[in-house]
Amino acid sequence: MATKLTSRADDYAQRYNDLVKQADLAENSSVRWCMVIKPYWYAIWENIKDVLDAMFKATWHQNAYFPLFIPKSFFSKEANHVEWFAKECAVVTHYRLKNWENWEGIVVDPEAKLEEELIVRPTSETIIWDSYRNWITSHRDLPLLINQRANVVRWEMRTRLFLRSAEFQWQEWHTAHATAEEADEEARKMLEVYSDFVKNFMGIYHYKGEKPEHEKFAWAVKTYTFEPMMQDFKALQAWTSHNLWQNFAKAFDVKFTNKNNELEYVYATSWWVSTRLIWGLIMAHSDDNWLVLPPALAPIHLVIVPIAKTEEDKQEVLNALQPCLDTLKQRKLTIDSKFLGAYQIPYKVKIDDDNQKTPGWKFNEWELKGVPLRIAVWKRDLEKWEVELFRRDTMEKKFVKLENLSEEIEKLLKEIQENIYLKHSEFTKAHTYKADSYDELKEKVEKWFVLAHWDWTKETAMKVQDELKATIRCLPFDGEIQEGIDPVSWKKSARRVIYAKSY
């Protein structure tokens, strides 16, 4: 039975941890700061992966796999690189264990020391670009559009296990192009692809835009981002894509012969997706009854709880539902997407006929796991040819005639998917505010995304960060671009940007 969920106002981090544990998504492992991803979480992650994979294949990207280990010298090559990511990482120094004499345990064999230490990848650009150097010689080899799904390890000190464990799953794309324009087009296109996914599958509203100069990835000339608002009004930076210009190619010495037969450095982009996405999915939609999952990514669409005293009654109940289940098996949940068209997902139905648990226990269990629809069916309702249908997002119940059941389920799943997005978009819009004075910015940034003018200086941005603990999340693509006055510095501003608190 669920314990009380920490309220949204109280402690948002604790609330997330509660959700993860109670919904049986993940747990702590015996390895410090590593977690066990349990089947329900893993199923959501697989659904995310499947849709993204289809999107990336639809845009001509390919998957490949590079080694887990990176020679230490690869990091030395590029001191800059180390500054950025890689100081806190797992270092492999030995390659053998041996039995300890006179004792029944084992020790690391001191004679099996590696000549050069290997680093467990915190990210893979060094080793991937090491390969690209051999793969790319001519413009005919370009573009090279490669994705890797992998586990990476970062040993930073952390405070919240489930938000980012030391080891985490991610996907990293590293593309190479013949021209600067093509690379920028790729980085912007992938922002759109990803935005399509986040809107239509995750049901999350967000602002797309560019990072200001001082917030972009050190190697990039442009960093594109989108920023959704969580329920505590903070921005979650869930995704960025980078136009890296020739910076990677210069660091890793990757040149190609262009169409004019001249030797030139390759243009690159990169972007990443990690299990942090799941964090966004959980926190954007969950309510006081725990998880709410959009049907497009839910491991189970519909749970059926037959309520009967005898095995015969249970069978009768299930038999009555069979025509509906047969119909659903023939049909698909269709999600409309810009890049995938009408994406089809088989309906996933779970029949929970476990005799050891009470109906009340089951209702609670599937509610807190966010299953979009539930059918509870008593034998007495069958006499009226109807069942009770419950939708998780609104917590509404209604009775539906058996003959209309499959149609109603299909209709409701579409409706729930849309409603979840609508709710999140209304919430975000209601908490987006145009501020024109510093006092207004100060007050509103606690609970709003604040659109304010900015004088384009790091100095001003840092002042806001120091005083208000808020940062410029992006220069949004949408909305009017008008000149004005920066409310912090009183200097001229070319356009408004979005200030917000963040994780």
Residues that bind a second copy (CB under 8 A): 27, 29-31, 34-39, 42-43, 46, 62-72, 74-76, 79, 82, 86-99, 104-106, 108, 117-120, 127, 130-131, 134, 140, 146, 150-151, 153, 155, 167, 169, 356
Long-range contacts formed by 88-92: CB under 8 A, 24+ apart: 88/122, 88/154, 88/155, 88/156, 88/157, 89/119, 89/120, 89/122, 89/153, 89/154, 89/155, 90/119, 90/120, 90/153, 90/155, 90/166, 91/117, 91/118, 91/119, 91/120, 92/117, 92/118, 92/119, 92/120
CB 133 → a second copy: shortest distance, Å? 10
CB 14 → a second copy: shortest distance, Å? 22
Based on CB atoms, which residue is closest to a second copy, 56 or 438? Answer: 56
Based on CB atoms, which residue is closest to a second copy, 65 or 399? Answer: 65
CB 346 → a second copy: shortest distance, Å? 11
- Identify the DSSP state of 423: H
CB 126 → a second copy: shortest distance, Å? 9
Distance CA 54, CA 36 (A): 27
Do 493 and 455 contact (CB within 8 A), yes or no? yes
CB 134 → a second copy: shortest distance, Å? 8
CA contacts within 13 A on the Cβ side of 91:
12
Residue type, 258: N
Based on CB atoms, which residue is closest to a second copy, 83 or 446? Answer: 83
Task: For residue 306, report the phi and psi dihedrals to the nearest 5 degrees.
Answer: -80, 135
Based on CB atoms, which residue is closest to a second copy, 32 or 384? Answer: 32
Q: What is the DSSP string of 140-159?
A: GG--EEEEEEEEEE-----S
Based on CB atoms, which residue is closest to a second copy, 82 or 462? Answer: 82
CB 138 → a second copy: shortest distance, Å? 9
CB 69 → a second copy: shortest distance, Å? 5
Q: Residue 113: which H helix or E strand, with range?
A: strand 113-120
314: Cα separation from own chain's centroid:
40
364: Cα separation from own chain's centroid:
26
Long-range contacts formed by 407-411: CB under 8 A, 24+ apart: 409/301, 409/302, 409/324, 409/328, 409/347, 409/373, 410/328, 410/331, 410/333
Based on CB atoms, which residue is closest to a second copy, 154 or 188? Answer: 154
Distance CA 240, CA 194 (A): 10
Do 237 and 494 contact (CB within 8 A), yes or no? no
CA contacts within 13 A on the Cβ side of 276:
16
Q: Which of 232, 248, 337, 322 is nearest to 282 (CA)?
A: 232
Based on CB atoms, which residue is closest to a second copy, 94 or 492? Answer: 94
CB 53 → a second copy: shortest distance, Å? 8
Based on CB atoms, which residue is closest to a second copy, 76 or 394? Answer: 76
Based on CB atoms, which residue is closest to a second copy, 156 or 459? Answer: 156
CB 71 → a second copy: shortest distance, Å? 6
- Residue linked to tokens 């920023």: 227
CB 356 → a second copy: shortest distance, Å? 5
CA atoms 366, 368, 374, 376: torsion sign:
positive
